Amino acid sequence: MGYKISMVAGEPSGDLLASRVMQGLIARDAKLQFNGIGGPYMQASGLQLNYPMDALSVFGYIDALKQLPRLISIYHNFKKQTIAGRPDVFVGVDAPDFNLRLEEQLKKSGIPTVQFVSPSIWAWRYQRIEQIRRAVDHMLVLFPFEVELYEKEGIPVTYVGHPLAQQIPAEPDARAARLRLGLDPDKPVLAILPGSRKSEINALSKVFLETAQKLHQKYPDLQFIVPLVNEARKQQFMEISKGIELANLHLYSQAVSEQPISRDVMEACDAALLASGTASLEMALYKKPMVIAYILSPLMVKIMAWKSGQSAPLLPWIGLPNILLREFAVPEHLQEEVTPDKLMASCVRALEDREYIQEVQTKFQTLYTTLAVDTPRLAAEQIWRIASTK
């Protein structure tokens, strides 16, 4: 009988990250038992579900308030189940609002805790470091600069790289990806990624499509490709796009497979227009120029400022590629700056300016080399070490 490992991931990106680490652990011991909260990728890797990942899905603070009674119920029930089950280690994957609170209680009960993916305390709410200290036995971080932060605070930490980097080819084959997607391999391609959350798609889809209309006038052969995380988000996008005529538009909804459709989209494109988030890092790992955009409602801005005690992030960048490179390597358009004219100007540069494109690709190649370490093995080593020395 192998060790028992309990895990929680709350979003599609965390589900994929966790599944890779599970595979790294299974390579050590095929008898390991996994249970917890996760999605289709974790289930495919052997997770026994206590609750489906969708049970934790909320779309911003407003939705979180509406769903609070359900989330509290899941939290308390899962906490009781986990303490009663006495896993050899608990691994929280991202989802810090849920996982850190849970980890604090599990750690008090004597269950070792590992948090995989640090909350972005380097940008918002640095004071959470005190909760992390109480909750986490070991922090696994995705980015090199985070190590110094945790070492300074005396919290055990290991840099494990980003598992997505290992899944992305060092030399992407755009032509092959276009053929897989049924595109014309000889015509230019712009990827449009309006986000995975309902609120993001509502905020960005219309302005992204209006930008695409303007780009089509300048580049009649330009192909537009849009991956949506599931069929529900695809239907939402299609509803928003009604009345916005756009030639050469191709939509794809995500299916569980070894190669997510979004990866084909990223490999196929010449450049991308996308929402800030994990997708921007993936696009950088594919070494593609991009334009990052994000819109928050005025109420959301006030709530974030209230919750964090900050009126703005601690860093001048919001896009992960820019944060990691410590510069505006690619443009960021926020709030009222998200207009079709401004987005188009940035997209034109990303599609046309050969010197700029080469400069961005060189920077992203350096980033890729830094992050493309054996994340499943490195993360599994630390989780295994903690489980086996309980």
Give the pLDDT confidence of 158-187 residue by residue, as tens digits: 999 987 888 899 999 999 999 999 999 999
pLDDT band at 61 (very low <50, low <70, confident <90, very high): very low
- Residue 12: the pLDDT is 81
Same domain, 234 and 220: yes
Stretch (H or E) spanning 136: none
Query: β-strands 271-275, 189-193: how paired?
Result: parallel
Same domain, 114 and 261: no
Q: How many degrees, rounded to 5, is the angle at CA 345 between CA 365 and CA 280?
A: 35
Judge whether residue 378 has pLDDT over 50.
yes
What is the 3-class SS of 297-344, one letter each residue? CHHHHHHHHHHHCCCCCCCCCCCHHHHHHCCCCCCEEEHHHCCHHHHH
- Residue 282: the pLDDT is 93
Section 64-75 average pLDDT: 78
**266 CB-near residues (< 8 Å, 6+ apart):** 172, 191, 272, 279, 282, 283, 286, 288
CATH code, domain with 264: 3.40.50.2000
Section 225-232 average pLDDT: 89
**Average pLDDT value for the chain:** 88
CB atoms within 10 A of CB 250: 16
Predicted TM-score of the model (pTM): 0.75
Section 74-100 average pLDDT: 94
Same domain, 98 and 196: no
Judge whether residue 112 has pLDDT over 90.
yes
Tokens 């053929």 correspond to 179
- Residue 297: the pLDDT is 53
Could you tell me where the DSSP H helices lie in the chain? 12-26, 40-44, 60-66, 68-85, 96-108, 129-135, 145-152, 163-166, 174-180, 198-218, 231-241, 261-268, 278-285, 298-308, 320-325, 340-352, 354-371, 375-388
Same domain, 238 and 270: yes
CB atoms within 10 A of CB 6: 28
- Residue 303: the pLDDT is 43
CB atoms within 10 A of CB 118: 24
Section 310-324 average pLDDT: 74
Same domain, 224 and 247: yes
DSSP-assigned letter for residue 39: -
Same domain, 377 and 363: no
* Integer CA distances (angstroms), 221 to 181, 186, 216, 326, 364, in order: 16, 10, 7, 35, 27
pLDDT band at 68 (very low <50, low <70, confident <90, very high): confident
Q: How far apart are CA 110 and CA 158, in angstroms?
A: 22
Same domain, 244 and 309: yes
CB atoms within 10 A of CB 258: 7
Residue 257 CA neighbour count, 13 Å, CB half:
11
- Residue 315: the pLDDT is 65
Same domain, 171 and 293: yes
**Residues 93 and 14 sit within 8 Å (Cβ to Cβ):** yes
Judge whether residue 299 has pLDDT over 90.
no
Strand order in the sheet with 89-93: 47-52, 33-38, 4-9, 89-93, 113-116, 138-141, 157-159
What range defines the domain where residue 261 resides? 167-371
Select the more confidently predicted residue: 137 or 278: 137
Same domain, 337 and 249: yes
Q: Say how many domains are in the chain.
A: 2
**339 CB-near residues (< 8 Å, 6+ apart):** 207, 333
User: 141 forms bridges with which residues in the sheet?
Assistant: 159
Same domain, 323 and 204: yes
Same domain, 148 and 280: no
Same domain, 212 and 343: yes
Residue 298 CA neighbour count, 13 Å, CB half:
1
Stretch (H or E) spanning 225: strand 223-228
